[in-house]
Structure 1
Amino acid sequence: MMTKQQPRTRRAQALREALENDIVTGFYPAGSRLDEVTLAKRFEVSRTPIREALIELSVAGLVDIKPRRGTFVRDVGIARLVEMFEVMADLEAMCGRLAARRITSDEVKALKAAHEACCNAQQGGDPDAYYHANQIFHDTIYKASHNGFLAEQAKHLQTQLKVYRRLQLRVPNRVSMSLTEHGNIVEAITSGDAVAAAEHLRQHVLIQGERFNDFVASVSAHWQEGDAKRN
């Protein structure tokens, strides 16, 4: 049964993701001022959900909220993103290593269920649905590490990178590759192989080689798409 809160939560999520996409694709380029009134009219909502979305975007590092001046899109370059992914890769590797040593039987069931949800999303052919299932998969690993501080740091950086991780899934064949990598991660964690779990997670998150080129091409294509829309 769907509660009144669920549709509201989904609308808020859809609004936030729409703004995230507009920023990442360059529809709102770096330095742009995001006016609450204008955005409220565009999305046909009150200023309250717009304000809440902008606060979340600030937490994610996509915008700067300056008192008495407004909200402005931050300039996040490719080099900075790669640095963030490098740190994320090591944080996730640590979570995987500890999870392989500490995961409980209930958490094993949760991890397998999360992996199954990713499989179902992949079969549905919806990259965004896969992304949301993927978030739960990674959150389950963070929890299974039984290190609260590490989980907090991983979640914080995950929040900052989520729009780019979602965009990365639009690279051709990336979802199917990601799912295969998930299978290796699940096997390593549930078998207690801490070294393999850490390495599989590190490689799963790290952008390098051909994946780096694909990622840059994807982001660049979306930025060009934003330029075309503005012109």
Structure 2
Amino acid sequence: MSASRSRPPLDPSAGNVRRGRPTRAEELRTQLADEITRGLLLPGTALDESALAARFGVSRTPVREALRELTASGLVETRPHRGAVVARPGAERLQNMFQVMAELEALSASLCALHMTPQERRELEDLHARMGELMRQGDFAAYREANERFHAAIYAGSHNGYLIELAIGTRQRLSPFRRAQFRALGRLALSHTEHERVTIAILRGEREAAANAMRSHIAIIQDAYEQYAQSL
């Protein structure tokens, strides 16, 4: 029996790599990250825990957790005696983060080409097809959610627990910028085309092609975000 057939299938929409409903801290992190990347909260703006807790109707605990995670992304800076303020990561740091993400996802895709089970390959293909319909409908919110499942399925399909851990951690740090890039003109259709190349290479078992397609996809995401940021 081959290595790929000896592994149990992983559902790309649940289980090992994706929880169900996001926590309140995750919801707050997403909301604040969107406001920062859209320019609604400008660099230097104070982020008072009590004020944010009152605004969102929560305790200070999820607010504190959200700010901690945004600090890891470089969108928030904590200063002595001043608390948290809106920041923007330097161009070099952001470039370094995307470079690491590209290699982690390229490795994940290459291992998928070798180790994904037949059921996992069918699920990836079906998910990609559903994303095509969302793209044609122009449903940005649903497409972004499906995009999370798509990449989670590729991490899971690598069948390398340590790689999954690293990829998820790095993706979480880059999540605000990856979400923001979907606002670039025509990005939804281009993203789906890039996913098409990744999916085909994985389904064909072409390890190098899958890695190259994914590496190119992440590089384009970085460019799309930079173009969007410059338009603000």
- With the shorter chain as reference, the TM-score category is 0.7 to 0.9
Calculate the TM-score normalised by the size of structure 2: 0.79
Q: Does 2:51 match 1:38?
A: yes
Moved more, 159-168 or 42-51: 42-51
CA shift in 2, pair 1:48/1:123, >3 Å: farther
Q: Does 1:89 align with 2:98?
A: no
Contact 2:178–2:225 (Cα < 8 Å) also in 1 = no
Counterpart check, 1:77 vs 2:90: yes
- The one-character-per-residue Cα deviations of 1:193-218 (angstroms, maximum 9, x if unpaired) are 1111111101111139xx73x53231
1:107 equivalenced with 2:123 (yes/no): no
1:203 aligns with 2:213: no
Where in structure 1 do 4 or more consecutive aligned residues deviate above 6 Å?
none
Deviation string, structure 1 residues 17-51 (Cα, Å, up to 9, x no partner)? 22001222333333443111211233344434423
Classify 1:95/1:195 alpha carbon distance in 2 versus 1 (closer, same or farther; 3 Å).
same
- Report the equivalent of 2:227: 217
- Among the aligned pairs, what percent are the same residue? 40
Q: Deviations over 1:106-130 (max 9, x none)?
A: 2112212331332233233132321
CA distance in 2, matches of 1:79, 1:112: 36
Deviation of the 1:221 alpha carbon: 2.7
**In structure 2, how many angstroms separate the alpha carbons of the residues matched to 1:15 and 1:81?**
22
Distance 1:216 1:60, change over 3 A: closer
Q: Deviation digits for residues 161-192 of structure 1, max 9, x if unmatched?
A: 11111111111111101111111211110110
SS of residue matched to 1:207: helix
Quick one: which amino acid aligns to residue 228 of structure 2? S
Q: Which has the higher helix share?
A: 1
**What is the correspondence of 1:49-198 to structure 2 with a 5 Å cutoff?**
49-65=62-78, 70-198=83-211
Note the residue ranges of structure 2 that are not aligned, 5 or more in a row: 1-19
> Aligned residues, how many?
213
User: Which one of 8, 11, 23 corresponds to residue 36 of structure 2?
Assistant: 23
Residues of 2 paired with 1:200 and 1:10: CA distance?
32
Q: Structure 1 unaligned runs (5+)?
A: 1-5, 223-231
Pick which of 156-165 and 32-41 moved more: 32-41
State the Cα RMSD in Å.
Answer: 2.6
Q: How far, CA to CA, are the matches of 1:97 and 1:118 in structure 2?
A: 22
Report how far residue 135 of structure 1 moved.
Answer: 1.2
- Looking at structure 2, the residues matched to 55 and 67 of structure 1 have their Cα atoms a distance apart, in angstroms, of 15
Q: Distance in 2 between matches of 1:27 and 1:144?
A: 38
